[in-house]
């Protein structure tokens, strides 16, 4: 059962040139889109701003209407302790279940640290984490 454990992430394409991230940030502001976590990855020609936002469906539509190239991706988010080795439990459970972590990014807040990750089978991943007693962060908590 996924009960909100699979979260919609937005991947926003940003040209790799001066001022483009500022432009995307201005569009996010204009569209009243709040990011809870994000990661900016780059390549030679473009970057990808992966973001967890308040209303991913609404944000997706607003960005598309502004001509921004954006994609939706399913990710999961696990609560991890802010201690050495904390990532091991989830990574080990996935490895034993044959689930590949394609990429991930973490956020350390005042209450807890969390790790957003894209995996090759999010439904199975949620079940593996639940069976392992690892707390998932739901879409209502982000």
| pLDDT single digits (tens) 100-126 | 999 999 887 767 788 888 899 999 999
CA gap 142, 133 in Å, rounded: 20
**pTM of the shown model:** 0.81
pLDDT band at 1, cuts 50/70/90?
A: very low
Domain ranges across the chain = 8-73, 74-131
Q: Do domains 8-73 and 74-131 have the same CATH topology?
A: yes
pLDDT of residue 140: 80
What are phi and psi for residue 46, nearest 5 degrees? -155, 165
pLDDT in tens, 29-45: 999 999 989 999 887 78
Please give the class, per CATH, of domain 8-73: alpha beta
Can you name the CATH fold of 74-131?
VC0802-like (3.30.2130)
């Amino acid at each position: 059962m996924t009960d909100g454990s699979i979260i919609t992430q937005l991947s926003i394409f940003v040209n790799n040139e001066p001022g483009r991230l500022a432009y995307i940030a201005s569009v996010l502001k204009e569209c009243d889109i709040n990011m809870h976590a994000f990661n900016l990855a780059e390549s030679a020609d473009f970057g990808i701003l992966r973001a967890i936002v308040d209303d991913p469906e609404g944000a997706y539509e607003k960005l598309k209407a502004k001509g921004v190239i954006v994609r939706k991706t399913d990710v999961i988010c696990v609560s991890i302790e802010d201690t050495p080795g904390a990532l091991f439990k989830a990574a080990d459970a996935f490895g034993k279940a044959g689930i590949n972590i394609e990429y991930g990014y973490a956020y350390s807040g005042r209450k807890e640290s969390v790790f957003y990750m894209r995996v090759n089978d999010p439904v199975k991943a949620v079940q593996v984490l639940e069976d392992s007693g690892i707390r998932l962060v739901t879409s209502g908590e982000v």
